[in-house]
Amino acid sequence: MKHTFVHFEIPADDVERAKTFYQELFGWQISLAQGYEDYWFIQTGDEHDLVGGLMKRQAPDQGPVSYVQVESVADYAAKVEDMGGKVIVPKSPVPGMGWFVHCLDSEGNTFALWEDDSPAA
């Protein structure tokens, strides 16, 4: 498996302002994610291009997060910690899609691990 970036998230203090900004700047299509009240999908191009998310900022220091595809978030979370990083959000489901873990790298940068798993509970 290639460990590539598969998703990104942008937190916003004012979601409508951020939607307008990115739509007008880049022409991105931003629409409310089906089944969610407060999460918007960002389509950066055609269906094969990277898809992002936009949501209300949940903490004052919350910044953008990039997600890397892995075979097992549990296995890679353990590797992160073995290599001097830190898990800051443990394995969590996205129902019907997969699992994620948020981490800090050895330099204090936030990133996330993503595991596809359609039956995620």
| Residues 6-44 pLDDT 10s | 999 999 999 999 999 999 999 999 999 988 899 999 999
pLDDT > 90 fraction of the chain, expressed in percent and rounded: 83
Taking the C-alpha atoms of residue 77 and residue 85, their distance in angstroms, rounded to an integer, is 9
Q: Is 104 exposed, middle or buried (0-12, 13-18, 19+ CB in 10 A)?
A: middle
The domains located in the chain, with CATH, are 8-57 (3.10.180.10), 70-121 (3.10.180.10)
Nearest residue to 38 (alpha-carbon basis) of 22, 59, 53, 27: 53
